[in-house]
Amino acid sequence: MNDYFDYWKLLAGLGLFLFAMRQLESALKQLSGKRFQLALSHSTKSPLRSVFAGMVTTTIVQSSSLVSLIVLAFVGAGIIPLVNAIGVVLGSNLGTTFTGWVVATLGFKFNLATFIYPMMAVAGLAYGLLKGQWQSFALFVLGLALLLMGLDFMKDSASTLTEQVDISLLSGYPLIVYLLLGTVLTAIIQSSSAVMMLTLSALYAGIIPLPEAAALVIGADLGTTSTVILGSMQGTVAKRRLAMAHVLFNLFVDALAFAALLPLLKLIAILNITDPLYGLVAFHSLFNLFGILLFMPFIKKFAQFLQHWIKTDEQQIELYIHSVPEDVTDAALEALTKETRHLLYLVMHLNLRFLQIDPNKIMTTKTEFSFPKQLLLSSHREHYIAIKKLEGKIINYALKIKIGEESAIKSKSKTDQISHRIDSLMKAIRSGVYSAKSLKDIDENLNSFNIQNNDTLTKYFDQLKASAESFYLVMYTLLNDQNSNALIFEELQALKEKSEDFHHAFAHKIYKKMSGIHLTSLDLSTSLNVNKEMETSEGALIKALELF
């Protein structure tokens, strides 16, 4: 009966530990907010700074998953480049080893009950009574208390296990067996930290010696790539590249660590680290540190290799929103803004095609967007359908951000500000698509100007095209100007007045021809309709850019 109880206590401790890790991550996501995300964004301006930022932020928040989630969102939103994101991932690998140091220092050197019960009492009551950020902080403390309780269960059950199991049965197996065991265990329970705690508990109880424990830790490090390997091939481009960077780095570092296992342990002995618990966490930190030092000189080439190897999906028209989770609000809002700008770029491109103006003649300014390859040979209708699909995806994404933000524990003013921005972007999208629709409705009329042998009609159409060229040259310049200021609104207002004046004057000119012989009734109607829809289209595009 006693054996049965101890095994269940070990599993209960493991379950508590995993549950506590999830609660800690959930609390940290609520607590970190914009400041943490901005700090991470600002501190990743170069690969070296990115590694340091990844190490420090993961050490502070103790959640490489949280850091990776935010970094992945930043890459997808175009806030930080892939090469710097890889640096953060490398640094976070070293940052996670800090957990082992804390546990080895506190978890096995003090009576955990001294900390657990007061923490659970205060945090549990605070979580039930408080609101907002204080409630999130209470959840963090409660998660920490549960984590320590789970560790205490594992430590106690491992200690009693030594009295019931002949430890000599475990000796004699080669180190590769322990490495594989660590890999499989981590792949099953999906937490290298939990395997690290189990290994520390077994080492503390004398169940396994230090070299075998070190092999287990290498296996745990390798096991974290199991989910990434399976999921990376199905994910978005940014996710696949970053995930593959993590996989390849871990494979390389863990293979070197296993090959140099005994020399590294001798180095630790030379450093006069005699306590096996400290020796194990020092080993974990050292091989990750050496791996980063070896990788750093090649990090840019590594990023270029990944970009060349894992190419963008040519069937995917969206550039940003597919790569950024909606719950990372600031990065998601940045992705939404950039995707809206991308849609307006595609609308302008389509409008120029409708007007039979070469887009390359107007869109000469360098931009971050490249025209989707699948639309290069598309018809006007296919191009328009692609924009409508993108509109649907963007609005769906925007609504998810809005719903998530409204349900989150945040200040009302902050939520209202984000909600207002999302509403403006959704209106900008609708206005942009309406601009394209206005020209789609007269596409047949525009084509008819080219097939009719009427010099007067051709002359009038050339006047419309010349005006449109001038209009889109200004609009494209303003779209590329990312410094939103009052001058842009003044230019848009001036452009709106110029467009209205031209089309009103053009309509008046057409009406004067009613008594002449140059235009038939059908030609007159077509010209007036084209003029009106072009004015509507230009007005809708100006409105879209104002809202944007």
- Tens digits of per-residue pLDDT, 52-78? 888 887 776 656 666 766 676 666 656
What are the pLDDT digits (tens) for 126-161? 888 887 778 878 887 888 788 778 767 776 665 565
Q: Is residue 286 located within the same domain as residue 349?
A: no
| Average confidence (pLDDT) over 20-34 | 64
Between 274 and 99, the higher pLDDT residue: 274
Euclidean distance between CA atoms 224 and 434, whole angstroms: 48
What are the pLDDT digits (tens) for 4-15? 446 777 778 778
Q: Pick from 76-85, 319-328, 385-394 the range whose average pLDDT is largest.
A: 385-394
Between 93 and 25, the higher pLDDT residue: 93
Q: What is the DSSP letter of 104?
A: I
C-alpha torsion angle, residues 51, 55, 57, 60 (rounded to 10): -170
Give the helix, strand, coil percentages of the chain, each rounded to 5.
Answer: 80, 0, 20
Phi, psi values for residue 296, rounded to 5°: -50, -45
> What confidence score (pLDDT) does residue 354 get?
86
Euclidean distance between CA atoms 48 and 40, whole angstroms: 13
Q: What angle do CA 202, 203, 208 make, to 5 degrees?
A: 80
Q: What's the residue count for the chain?
A: 548
Evaluate the CA torsion angle 266, 271, 275, 280 in order and state its sign: negative
> Of 107, 90, 91, which is closest to residue 99 (Cα–Cα)?
107
Lowest mean pLDDT, pick from 59-63, 299-303, 495-499? 59-63
Q: Is residue 301 located within the same domain as residue 436?
A: no
| Residue 218 pLDDT greater than 90, yes or no | yes
454 belongs to a structural domain: yes
Q: Is residue 293 located within the same domain as residue 378?
A: no
Token representation of residue 38:
């901005």
> What confidence score (pLDDT) does residue 2 get?
47
206 belongs to a structural domain: no
Q: Which residues contact 33 (CB under 8 A, 6 or more apart)?
A: 410
> Which of the four pLDDT bands, split at 50, 70 and 90, describes residue 211?
very high
> Which of the four pLDDT bands, split at 50, 70 and 90, describes residue 356?
confident
> What confidence score (pLDDT) does residue 1 get?
40
| Residue 364 pLDDT greater than 80, yes or no | no
| Percent of all residues in the chain with a pLDDT value above 70, rounded to a whole number | 74
Q: Are 331 and 74 in contact (CB under 8 A)?
A: yes
> What confidence score (pLDDT) does residue 162 get?
47
| Average confidence (pLDDT) over 233-238 | 59
> What confidence score (pLDDT) does residue 257 get?
93
- How far from 79 is each of 45, 146, 235, CA to CA, in Å? 10, 36, 19
Number of structural domains (the chain) is 2
Q: Is residue 276 located within the same domain as residue 404?
A: no
231 belongs to a structural domain: no
415 belongs to a structural domain: yes
226 belongs to a structural domain: no
| Average confidence (pLDDT) over 252-275 | 91
> What confidence score (pLDDT) does residue 261 get?
93
pLDDT averaged over every residue in the chain: 78
Q: Is residue 477 located within the same domain as residue 354?
A: yes
> What confidence score (pLDDT) does residue 63 get?
60
Q: Is residue 289 located within the same domain as residue 413?
A: no
Token representation of residue 226:
């199991």
> What confidence score (pLDDT) does residue 30 get?
62
Q: Is residue 298 located within the same domain as residue 325?
A: no
> Which of the four pLDDT bands, split at 50, 70 and 90, describes residue 540?
very high
210 belongs to a structural domain: no
Q: Which residues contact 268 (CB under 8 A, 6 or more apart)?
A: 279, 282, 283, 286
Between 446 and 349, the higher pLDDT residue: 349
| Residue 343 pLDDT greater than 50, yes or no | yes
> Which of the four pLDDT bands, split at 50, 70 and 90, describes residue 3?
very low
Lowest mean pLDDT, pick from 51-65, 79-93, 420-434? 51-65
| Residue 380 pLDDT greater than 90, yes or no | no
Q: Could you give the angle at which helices 64-76 and 2-42 cross, rounded to 10 degrees?
A: 40
Q: Is residue 75 located within the same domain as residue 96?
A: yes
CATH code of the domain covering residue 514: 1.20.58
Last residue of a domain, one of 250, 277, 309: 309
55 belongs to a structural domain: yes
What are the pLDDT digits (tens) for 171-201? 678 889 889 888 888 877 766 777 787 788 8
Q: Provide the residue range defining the domain that includes 67.
A: 2-169+237-309
Q: Is residue 293 located within the same domain as residue 333?
A: no
Last residue of a domain, one of 278, 309, 340: 309
Euclidean distance between CA atoms 415 and 545, whole angstroms: 23
Lowest mean pLDDT, pick from 122-126, 228-232, 320-324? 228-232
Q: What is the DSSP letter of 221?
A: H
Q: Is residue 280 located within the same domain as residue 397?
A: no
222 belongs to a structural domain: no
One-letter identity of residue 415: T
> What confidence score (pLDDT) does residue 475 get?
86
> What confidence score (pLDDT) does residue 130 get?
80
Last residue of a domain, one of 284, 309, 334: 309
Euclidean distance between CA atoms 540 and 431, whole angstroms: 5
* Exposure of 515 in the CB half-sphere (CA atoms within 13 A): 2
**DSSP string over 279-308:** HHHHHHHHHHHHHHHHHGGGHHHHHHHHHH
Lowest mean pLDDT, pick from 340-344, 400-404, 415-419, 450-454? 450-454
| Residue 238 pLDDT greater than 80, yes or no | no
Lowest mean pLDDT, pick from 344-358, 446-460, 477-491? 446-460
Token representation of residue 105:
């220092």
> What confidence score (pLDDT) does residue 201 get?
81
Q: Is residue 384 located within the same domain as residue 532?
A: yes
Token representation of residue 390:
């993108």
Q: Is residue 291 located within the same domain as residue 366?
A: no
> What confidence score (pLDDT) does residue 38 get?
62
